[in-house]
Structure 1
Amino acid sequence: MSYQVLARKWRPRTFEDMVGQEHVLQALIHALDNQRLHHAYLFTGTRGVGKTTIGRLLARCLNCETGVTATPCGTCSSCQEIQEGRFVDLIEIDAASRTGVDDMRELTDNVQYSPSRGRFKVYLIDEVHMLTNQSFNAFLKTLEEPPEHVKFLLATTDPQKLPVTVLSRCLQFNLKRMTPEHIAGHLRHVLTQEGIPFEEPALWLLARAADGSMRDALSLTDQAIAFGNQKLSGSDVSNMLGTIDQRDIEKLVNALVENDGPALLSEISRISDFAPDYSVILADLLSLFHRVTMEQVVPGSVDNALGDAAQVESLARRLSAEDAQLFYQAALMGRKDLAVTPDARMGFEMTLLRMLAFRPGADRREPPAIASGGSSSGQEQREDPEPGPAAPEPQPQHSEAQHSEPQRSEPVAEQAAPEQAIPEEVASEPVAEEPEAGPPPAEADDAWLASLDAAAESAAAESAVVEDYESEPVVEEQPQPEPEPEPHQDTGEFVWERHFRSLDIVGMPGNLASNAAMSRNGDEIVLTIDEGHARLLNARHEEKILEALRNRFGDTITLRIEQGDAGGKTPAAWEERQRRARQKAAEEAIRNDPAVQSIVERFEARVVEDSIRPPQQAKG
């Protein structure tokens, strides 16, 4: 007898044998038990998750000689013939090869005939999305109202390509991708029954390589058995797949955690002999650091989906949260860089070295000094022209200090003084003469850059003065400055335009009230609002406004709304005038600032006035 591949030999024979599709099986079992059967079912999902298998099992359930049942006997002639693929009333159609409209018309013409052997004539159409539009049109009427003895079972890996008219006529079930845990568990059962010795890491390598497909997992297992001469070892499977096993990942991560650069490079050199896919290794590292972070944030949340739960729990205790985040980001960026690096190993090596170099708390070392014609002491003197007991800060930190302390620009300028200001010890060393004329030294440029912060602070201080002139808004569109609004009668110091925000009327009521002018006569407050805003006002808005007014002026206050011209005496108009005045003052402050003017003249720069933002005015 010829050998039967594992993917066919271990195809499920009952619903109980199916792995990982419980949500679909539950619906089908209940429908069969209660005789609530639809005429068309659509099964979607990636390759190898069981779409065709479920279709064949459902055909057995419908045609078993014991009756329509979720547990077919498996011994009757109908069950046997379906199992062996020779049941005359189960018509399997590969839509990828029979896409023409003539093929579909032949199908619809034969639908009307009663089944020859079974209870139902079952049409199982695989890859149904490959049918042409003309075929779908010829199929629609039959699909919607087939004879009582016909059931349609459709399967596809790409439901997005199906017309909505087809989708609306079917019960749709989406089969999920298999998790590595489901696949590894099923492989463990299959290999045990087959009597094939195996190592646990080999199962997880196969489960991850299958990428959610049980059929692919079984096919890879067949290949691994042949590769390993009737046994499955982690090293053999790793070599076959061109990957590294979990123990190699663990060694790499341990070298990172221990901050052991030599061990890391040695491990990279060892695994490079297997010519692995470095992108896959980085993907494994990303998955590991993600699960480590999950365990750190929510202890106990790690699962054993990849067979490394113990390693994840250990790393979560040994790694700091900052290290885990850094390693994840470095692996993520390194995986993108692999596509542009001259050599994949180089890119992988640099990614792991980057994790060590930028790890929080790692030793920061300056690049080695290169002496030219002098002793090391002379090199030190050139690095530190000013005598003193303390060495200067590294240049990046020096620049930051200059930006935060502009007053240090004068000492920097002194460093660029004539030669007589240089100490004798430094002058005795061979130093290249500077040209008499040329671009300013770098220190002077740093001083100019540091003055930017001083300019910004000066501009902010001057623009802040605008708040003291709220009673005198200076706006180009207003030829005459407006006087401060007078307090309304019997409202004390309350000025409607200026102090409206203190009423805390929010939402639509506040928006409408801010576009109204206010007058008061005794306990009656009148709000004059233009017609456009008045149309939006309703009783609920008026209640909110009245409630705020009573909170301010007392419970005896009444409110009346009038339509009319507010005359610009509204809070919204007043705030807009203040905003324009502040904007103009801020622009003038920036334009007239001496530091800004110097920068504009020296660097031929320009001020982008649209980017100037005055300080926000506090609520009145």
Structure 2
Amino acid sequence: MGIEEGRFPDLLEVDAATNTRVEEMRELLENTQYLPVAGRFKVYLIDEVHMLTNQSFNAFLKTLEEPPEHVKFLLATTDPQKLPVTVLSRCLQFNLKRMTPEHIVGHLKYVLGQEQIPFEDPALWLLARAADGSMRDALSLTDQAIAFGNQNLASSDVSNMLGTIDQRDIERLVQALVERDGPGLLTEISRIADFAPDYGVILADLLSLFHRVTMEQVVPGSADNAMGDAAQVQALARQLSAEDAQLFYQTALMGRKDLAVTPDARMGFEMTLLRMLAFRPGATRREPPAVSAGSNQAAGGNRPEPEPDPAPAQPTGSQAEPAPEPVQQPPEPEPAEVSVPPSPPMAEEPPPWEPDTPPWEPDDLEPIVEAAPRNEPQPPQQTEAPVAPERQAEPDQSVPPEPAQAPVQRGEFVWESDFRSLEINGMPGNLASYSSLSWDGDTAVLTLDEGHARLLNARHQEKILAGLRSRFGDAIQLRISQGIPGEHTPAAYEERQRAARQQAAEEAIRQDPVVKNIVERFEGRVVEDSIRPAETGRR
């Protein structure tokens, strides 16, 4: 009871931050010879002991080595590394745990209730977080906040005093992200910017919130009330998917690292939150590219004045026309010079591409079941002008062994084997190679699975459409359909050919007489994983 009221004579508290001189330490040690008055021991509590000078420690060390039986020293410090090793070796160390924010808030409520000072709960949580587990710091900050708010603790006043934002502002930012509300998100950022906050601290708060949301998703009921927002964390865990929570966490983590190199801290903070919106999984994230593509189409439609068509698909065709025109012009005189009389009906089929496509088709069709007999006659056929008879014979040979290709044929074009002749490169070509093709009149329907269709944007579709129009004419339209493409895709076709070449190479090695002789003589074995087929002409 006397200790709580501060009138116990045998408990002496010394502030080492103000009593650092060696004379003061010697005066304290001289009083240790007197016996306690009321208690069993005379206790000296030295706070912030690391602030003592080396001379004070040297004067204190002798008494510390052989203390009187009725004296106990309690040395309190927040930085034990600064104490001399000789002092640490003569003490028992007790590492006190930090107080939880809930405990600090509970004690502050008791103190403010006794003092009859009005307060807001969010203000106490801000003070508890700023105290960082120290009750003394929490009480000191509370005194400052009471003076700052004119005998009233309001969350807005505490936020201004600490230079931070309220936890509710963090929740508003996350709620705008959850609702995909871009304008609302920018409005909230603009409102927060009026307080000149530390954007790195805001991102750290977002990281903490997303971490707790993820923990609640993995282990329901594990969300603590360390920030006084356990109910909000549980609600966000139900609204956000696991992918969104991980994406937001990683984006905030990278954005916090980028703040140091951005020209403006607010700019980096805004871009971090906008990245969370732009790259969030979902169909709506493709809307901004679609809008920009439409504007590009409108701008592109103003360029070609001869074409009056207002249809949205025509600008893409007009952009793709310059590519096929120079390709179609050189082949036109060739049929006129060499084979105009013998092959008038062949002009209805795509003659401009006949001289250019054989370099692709023999390579694409080379690995099919009868690859060897095709490679031999093709080199002389490529140098001669009348290529059309050779192309008529090739589809006849490829259709019987693979009747499943019939639905994806258009004339002599087979989608899975002749896809590379369209010369669709880059990301559009990679995505299109995982699709199957069907025709609905003059509309090419590409069927893609959900994962690849999600990556396909308007610009990729323009390049695919340009490749199709260069082969089949400007009347071709393109439609993307989500579904199961099946096995008749260019990527699956190439994988089957690769596997066939690999199998043939392994079989050739196994049947090679020289290899057999080596294996028999040296009792060796063939490591099949090291066998690679010879590079094809197309590669």
TM-score (norm 2): 0.58
Measure how far apart 1:169 and its partner are.
Answer: 3.0
- Residue in structure 2 matching 1:594, options 531, 535, 538: 535
- Residue in structure 2 matching 1:373, options 303, 306, 319: 303
Quote the Cα distance in structure 2 between the aligned partners of 1:284 and 1:424.
Answer: 55
1:327 lines up with 2:327 in the alignment: no
- Residue in structure 1 matching 2:99, options 178, 181, 197: 178
1:145 lines up with 2:85 in the alignment: no
Measure how far apart 1:358 and its partner are.
Answer: 1.0
Pair 1:135–1:230, CA change in 2 (3 A): closer
Q: Which amino acid aligns with 1:113?
A: Q
Quote the Cα distance in structure 1 between the aligned partners of 2:49 and 2:65.
Answer: 16
Measure how far apart 1:308 and its partner are.
Answer: 0.8
Pair 1:182–1:473, CA change in 2 (3 A): farther
Quote the Cα distance in structure 2 between the aligned partners of 1:293 and 1:360.
Answer: 17
Pair 1:145–1:451, CA change in 2 (3 A): farther
Pair 1:402–1:235, CA change in 2 (3 A): same
- Residue in structure 1 matching 2:33, options 95, 101, 113: 113
Quote the Cα distance in structure 2 between the aligned partners of 1:163 and 1:468.
Answer: 80
Quote the Cα distance in structure 2 between the aligned partners of 1:167 and 1:343.
Answer: 47
Q: Secondary structure at the match of 2:164?
A: coil
Q: Does the Cα contact within 8 Å between 1:295 and 1:302 map onto a contact in 2?
A: yes
Q: Secondary structure at the match of 2:169?
A: helix
How do residues 84-95 of structure 1 correspond to structure 2 at under 5 angstroms?
90=12, 92=14, 94=16
Q: Does the Cα contact within 8 Å between 1:268 and 1:349 map onto a contact in 2?
A: yes
Alignment-derived partner of residue 522 in structure 2: 482
Alignment-derived partner of residue 439 in structure 1: none
Quote the Cα distance in structure 1 between the aligned partners of 2:229 and 2:188.
Answer: 20
- Residue in structure 1 matching 2:215, options 290, 294, 309: 294
Measure how far apart 1:181 and its partner are.
Answer: 1.2
Q: Secondary structure at the match of 1:271?
A: helix
Alignment-derived partner of residue 80 in structure 1: 7
Alignment-derived partner of residue 399 in structure 1: 430
Q: Does the Cα contact within 8 Å between 1:96 and 1:127 map onto a contact in 2?
A: no
Q: Does the Cα contact within 8 Å between 1:124 and 1:153 map onto a contact in 2?
A: yes
Q: Secondary structure at the match of 2:7?
A: helix
- Residue in structure 1 matching 2:153, options 208, 220, 232: 232
How do residues 461-540 of structure 1 correspond to structure 2 at under 5 angstroms?
462=505, 481-483=521-523
Pair 1:457–1:110, CA change in 2 (3 A): farther
Quote the Cα distance in structure 2 between the aligned partners of 1:122 and 1:453.
Answer: 85
Q: Which amino acid aligns with 1:80?
A: R
Measure how far apart 1:128 and its partner are.
Answer: 3.7
Measure how far apart 1:395 and its partner are.
Answer: 5.3
1:250-289 deviation digits (Å, cap 9, x = unpaired): 2222211111111111111122112222222222222222
How do residues 216-365 of structure 1 correspond to structure 2 at under 5 angstroms?
216-363=137-284, 364-365=286-287
Alignment-derived partner of residue 362 in structure 2: none
Quote the Cα distance in structure 2 between the aligned partners of 1:196 and 1:360.
Answer: 48
Quote the Cα distance in structure 2 between the aligned partners of 1:457 and 1:127.
Answer: 78
Q: Which amino acid aligns with 1:398?
A: G
Pair 1:150–1:260, CA change in 2 (3 A): same
Q: Secondary structure at the match of 1:154?
A: strand
Q: Secondary structure at the match of 2:33?
A: coil
Quote the Cα distance in structure 2 between the aligned partners of 1:140 and 1:128.
Answer: 13
Q: Does the Cα contact within 8 Å between 1:90 and 1:124 map onto a contact in 2?
A: yes
Q: Does the Cα contact within 8 Å between 2:47 and 2:77 map onto a contact in 1?
A: yes
Quote the Cα distance in structure 2 between the aligned partners of 1:124 and 1:453.
Answer: 81
Aligned pairs, how many? 381
Quote the Cα distance in structure 1 between the aligned partners of 2:515 and 2:54.
Answer: 73
Alignment-derived partner of residue 402 in structure 2: none
Measure how far apart 1:130 and its partner are.
Answer: 5.2
Q: Which amino acid aligns with 1:94?
A: A
Quote the Cα distance in structure 2 between the aligned partners of 1:215 and 1:594.
Answer: 75
Alignment-derived partner of residue 198 in structure 1: 119
1:320-360 deviation digits (Å, cap 9, x = unpaired): 12111211221222122222111111111111111111111
Gaps of 5+ in 1: 1-70, 406-411, 427-446, 484-576, 600-620
Q: Which amino acid aligns with 1:594?
A: E
Quote the Cα distance in structure 1 between the aligned partners of 2:14 and 2:176.
Answer: 55
1:443-494 deviation digits (Å, cap 9, x = unpaired): xxxx9xx99999899679857987999x97999xx9x9424xxxxxxxxxxx
Gaps of 5+ in 2: 325-349, 351-409, 416-421, 437-462, 477-489
Greater relative CO (CA pairs within 8 A, separation 6+): 1
Q: Secondary structure at the match of 2:201?
A: helix
Pair 1:593–1:223, CA change in 2 (3 A): same
Quote the Cα distance in structure 1 between the aligned partners of 2:140 and 2:57.
Answer: 34
Quote the Cα distance in structure 2 between the aligned partners of 1:111 and 1:226.
Answer: 40
Q: Secondary structure at the match of 1:360?
A: coil
Quote the Cα distance in structure 1 between the aligned partners of 2:507 and 2:35.
Answer: 90
1:174-205 deviation digits (Å, cap 9, x = unpaired): 11222211111111111111111111111111
120-129 or 204-213, which deviates more: 120-129
Quote the Cα distance in structure 1 between the aligned partners of 2:29 and 2:162.
Answer: 49
Quote the Cα distance in structure 1 between the aligned partners of 2:498 and 2:85.
Answer: 63
Identity %: 61
354-363 or 209-218, which deviates more: 209-218
Q: Secondary structure at the match of 2:75?
A: strand
Measure how far apart 1:380 and its partner are.
Answer: 0.8
Measure how far apart 1:210 and its partner are.
Answer: 1.8
Q: Secondary structure at the match of 2:281?
A: coil
Q: Secondary structure at the match of 2:280?
A: coil
Q: Does the Cα contact within 8 Å between 2:20 and 2:53 map onto a contact in 1?
A: no
Q: Which amino acid aligns with 2:427?
A: P
Quote the Cα distance in structure 2 between the aligned partners of 1:144 and 1:206.
Answer: 41
Measure how far apart 1:156 and its partner are.
Answer: 2.0
Q: Which amino acid aligns with 1:90?
A: L
Quote the Cα distance in structure 2 between the aligned partners of 1:247 and 1:139.
Answer: 51
Pair 1:424–1:116, CA change in 2 (3 A): closer
Pair 1:131–1:360, CA change in 2 (3 A): same
1:201-246 deviation digits (Å, cap 9, x = unpaired): 1111111122222222222222222222211122222222222213
Measure how far apart 1:379 and its partner are.
Answer: 2.9
1:90-119 deviation digits (Å, cap 9, x = unpaired): 37362786487x987x47974873447566
